[in-house]
Amino acid sequence: MANVAFIGLGNMGGPMATNLVKAGHAVTVFDLAPAACEQLREAGADVAASAAEAIAGKDYVISMLPAGKHVAGTYLGDDGLLAKLDASTTVLDCSTIDAATAREVGEAAAAMGIGFMDSPVSGGVAAAAAGTLAFMCGGSAETFEKAKIILAGMGKNIFHAGPAGAGQVAKGCNNMLLAIHMIGTCEALEMGARNGLDPKVLSEIMLASSGRNWSLEVYNPYPGVMENAPASKGYQPGFMVDLMAKDLGLAGGIADASGVDNQMGKLARAIYEKHQGEGNGQRDFSSVLERYQD
Ligand code: NAD
């Protein structure tokens, strides 16, 4: 059992912190939203009045915040949490943020002798609740060994991607590829349907052929092909277009900063941002199929 502070109890952080309580850890939580804290109190956590109060004397500090500016604001500077922690604490930021901020926080932590790991997740709210998230970690091997103990209470697959920032790079690579194969799957299915093929039969053919991919296998975007996919439930998320657009922006930043020619990623980003701008932000990302049907 470990003493854990958990900061950021939204759609993802709430169920993740709850799973740590269920795993037997002593969890102290903080969120700017009092209602989110109350839910965790009911689940068995202690509630702190501030992030600084939550981290006092803890073995682990975990955060699940919206974006890089929230993570930088929480950890850096004279008033930031790093300045208040002692070197025995392990800090795990599970938010999806830009790799540059993750590296900056990692380097600031390292300079103080604090183990920091960017640990973004794959898997949405359902995986957070089920405790089946995948974690992509960036930090030292020593910090990774400590991180695994606690991340195992929230997820199934825990990967060490490399040094600080590498978790965010891995997440950017994965979600850029996800967007590209989702869009490609939509185009292929619509092309088949317009030429008289049953999307279900075409899906079976491609699944047994070289077009096989995750979107086709577990998340078919064509309504009615897969009973439990968001496409068959009016594109209720699932994984929202807003989040995909955010992740493609972060992936684009990584590609540009490293000089990678990422035409497919840029095109996927433009398609998702257009879809988002037309009122689809809160719908599942597989609703991009409808762009090909109009
Ligand atoms: P959310 O908006 O539901 O939750 C964020 C929480 O952080 C809110 O409760 C907010 O009050 C709190 N918060 C913001 N600033 C704070 C601060 N300074 N101190 C304390 N609390 C603060 O977001 P979410 O859906 O839980 O996503 C969190 C992160 O996980 C994001 O980076 C997102 O990209 C990533 N993510 C989300 C999903 C998903 O399906 N929702 C999947 C994978 C990754």
Q: Which tens digits make up the pLDDT trace of 176-208?
A: 999 999 999 999 999 999 999 999 999 999 999
Pick the catalytic residue from 146, 171, 233, 266.
Answer: 171
171 is catalytic: yes
Q: Which helix (H) or strand (E) holds 5?
A: strand 3-7
Residue 33 Cβ < 6 Å to ligand 1: yes
Which residue from 28, 17, 83 is spatially nearest to 59, judged by alpha carbons?
28
Tell me which of 11, 30, 62 to substitute to probe ligand 1's pocket, judged by most ligand atoms within 8 Å of the beta carbon.
11
Give the distance, in angstroms, between the CA of residue 107 and the centroid of all CA atoms in the same chain.
Answer: 22
pLDDT grade, residue 172 (50/70/90)? very high
Domains 3-163 and 169-293 share a fold: no
Ligand 1 centroid vs 222 CA: distance in angstroms?
29
Residue nearest to atom 29 of ligand 1 (CA): 95
pTM, two decimal places = 0.95
Domain ranges of the chain: 3-163, 169-293
pLDDT grade, residue 162 (50/70/90)? very high
The count of residues in the chain is 294
ipTM: 0.99
Q: Which amino acid is at 86?
A: D
The predicted pLDDT at position 32 comes to 98
Q: Tell me the sheet residues that pair with 7.
A: 30, 63
Residue 48 Cβ < 6 Å to ligand 1: no
Maximal CA-CA distance, the chain: 65
CATH homologous superfamily of 169-293: N-(1-d-carboxylethyl)-l-norvaline Dehydrogenase; domain 2 (1.10.1040.10)
pLDDT grade, residue 124 (50/70/90)? confident
Fold annotation for 3-163: Rossmann fold (3.40.50)
Ligand 1 centroid vs 51 CA: distance in angstroms?
15
- If you search the block for the tokens 């089920």, which residue do you land on? 130
Residue nearest to atom 5 of ligand 1 (CA): 10
- If you search the block for the tokens 């997740």, which residue do you land on? 121
Which residue from 161, 175, 164 is spatially nearest to 246, judged by alpha carbons?
175
Ligand 1 centroid vs 94 CA: distance in angstroms?
9
